[in-house]
Amino acid sequence: MKIALILPGGVDRSGAERVIPVFLWLIERLAQRHEVHVFATRQEADAGSWKLNGAEVHNAGTARGSSFRLLAKFGAVHRQRPFDVVHAFFGWCGPVAAFAGWRFGVPVVFHAAGGEFVALRDIDYGMRTSLPGRLGLLVTLAGVRRVTVASRFMQHLATSQSVRAEYVPLGVAIDQWPMREPCPRDPSHPIRLLHVGDLRPVKDQTLLITAAGQLHDAGISFELDIVGLDTMNGVIQRTPNARRIESVTRWHGTLGRGALRALMDRADLLVVTSRHEAGPVVALEAAIAGVPSVGTAVGYVQDWSPDAAVAVPVGDAQALTGAIAGLAADEPRRLQIAHEAQRRARDIDADYTAATFERIYTELQRHG
């Protein structure tokens, strides 16, 4: 098959900087068996093309008219030999893919990978918060043949909007992110907490810091590592709660994959505090590394609770504090959850993801 993937980015020519690993894992697997072209809407400022993981990447550039440049490049590559399927990821790639599919007569798959079905107006998050976003989603849904989502949680959100979506997790490449047996922790040592996510309102690190402050007040010994790009210019770090726990908190900023894995290998719990997540992949990565997740009832945390994760209500710092404290005091349960999470993450790895998408592509080809 000849496959077109339309992505916002995450496919830098370096293969290491400014990349989204699940995209690279999927591209690599599809390119082993198919001709794959990736159309990136804003990977680099200037338009250009390069090879990556066996695929050809075509970057539209960020200057005005990027959608037109992307569609023009799509048409040129399509005329060389027609595409069999177009697969778009994330909200605003959807309308572009829908138009390309209509213009060139190619079936389109859309993977809703973010805030497509939510409207968190107080933080201006989600496609449904604005009229352009709602219209963009309508155009996407009208022009695609299949919709996929990464979690049952996201599938439920789609159903609430009368959208039929198929569950296709974006799994971890175990050959590149190896499995590690869950390790018992020494209860005489501080419990090591890890949070991974850009510092921005939807990730709700304010909740994280509030809960950590409550742990501190309760006399529970912990260390907290926070990884992610700070988009809020140090606002959270300057809060009174953050200053109270600064001696046990490390703000790492963005990290390479090796450094992130080293932190994950020493962690006891991954803490997710988001107000919305479509996945998140970091919970799968943590599970493969033998680390269980505790956090807000979104994405895989909601899907897997209570047997393979511990979920608490969104925004509830007291419940989050209690859940962390409970696992800190119950090592057999923490390990039981870690083992079950690892089993589930292994069953939906990157090979499973690629094979499932290939099945969908084949079904579209068979049924016209």
Give, in order, the Cα–Cα distances in Å from 112 to each of 153, 161, 171, 202. 12, 13, 15, 17
Residues 6+ apart with CB under 8 A from 78: 4, 104, 106
* 51 strand-pairing partners: 56
Token reading at 161:
């909007």
Residues 6+ apart with CB under 8 A from 225: 192, 193, 194, 195, 249, 250, 252, 263, 267
Q: What are phi and psi of 186, to 5 degrees?
A: -85, 110
Residues 196 and 163 in one domain: no
Q: Is residue 151's pLDDT more than 60?
A: yes
Contacts of 355 (CB under 8 A, 6+ apart): none
Shared domain for 221 and 268, answered yes or no, is yes
- Looking at the structure, tell me whether residues 143 and 213 fall in a common domain: no
Residue 219 lies in a domain: yes
Nearest C-alpha neighbor of 254 from the set 18, 13, 9: 18
pLDDT tens digits, one per residue of 26-53:
999 999 999 999 999 999 999 999 999 9
Burial pattern 249-285, b for ≥16 Cβ within 10 A else e, equals: bebeeeeeeeebbebbeebbbbbbbbbbbbbbbbbbb
Residues 223 and 133 reside in one and the same domain: no
Q: How many domains in the chain?
A: 2
Are 166 and 239 in a shared domain?
A: no
- 127 and 21 within one domain: yes
- Given a contact cutoff of 8 angstroms between Cβ atoms, the answer to whether 265 and 180 are in contact is yes
**Quick one: 227 and 328 in the same domain?**
yes
**Tokens encoding 167:** 């569950």
- Report if residue 184 sits inside a domain: no
Assess whether 79 and 144 both reside in one domain.
Answer: yes
225/132 same-domain check:
no
pLDDT in tens, 243-277: 999 999 999 999 999 999 999 999 999 999 999 99
pTM (two decimals)? 0.95
Averaged over 287-307, what is the pLDDT? 98
User: In terms of domains, do 337 and 353 share one?
Assistant: no
Question: What domain range includes position 92?
Answer: 2-171+349-367
CA distance 322 to 304: 18
pLDDT given for residue 139 in this prediction: 97
Q: Does residue 179 lie within any of the structural domains?
A: no
Q: What percent of the chain has pLDDT over 90?
A: 96
Whether residue 185 is contained in a domain is answered as: no
* Residue among 298, 271, 136, 282 at smallest CA distance from 210: 271
CATH number of the domain enclosing 120: 3.40.50.2000
Q: How far lies 108's CA from each of 51, 149, 197, 312, in Å? A: 23, 15, 30, 36
Q: How many alpha carbons fall within 13 Å on the CB side of residue 210?
A: 11
CA nearest to 8, candidates 95, 126, 107: 95
Decide if 297 contacts 312 (C-beta within 8 A): yes
Residues 36 and 125 both lie in one domain: yes
Mean pLDDT confidence for 198-212 = 98
155 inside domain: yes
Task: Give the model confidence (pLDDT) of 351-363 as tens digits.
Answer: 999 999 999 999 9
Mean pLDDT of all residues in 118-146:
97
Over residues 176-193, the pLDDT tens digits come to: 999 999 999 999 999 999
CA dihedral 85, 90, 93, 95 (to 10 degrees): 90
152 pLDDT higher than 80: yes
Mean pLDDT of all residues belonging to the chain: 96
Distance of CA 196 to the CA centre of its chain: 11
Rounded to an integer, the average pLDDT of 57-86 is 95
Is 247 a domain residue? Answer: yes
Same domain, 31 and 157: yes
d(CA 7, CA 40): 5
Contact 294, 310 (CB under 8 A): yes
Q: Flag whether pLDDT at 287 surpasses 90.
A: yes
Supply φ then ψ for residue 23, to 5 degrees: -65, -45
Residue 67 is assigned to a structural domain of this protein: yes
pLDDT at 368: 57
Amino acid (1-letter code) at residue 129: T
The reply to whether 176 falls in a domain is no
Query: Considering just the CA atoms, what is the radius of gyration of the chain in Å?
Result: 21
For residues 42-72, one letter each, b for 16 or more C-beta atoms within 10 angstroms of the residue's C-beta and e for the rest, the string is: ebbeebeebebbebebbbbbeeeebbebbbe
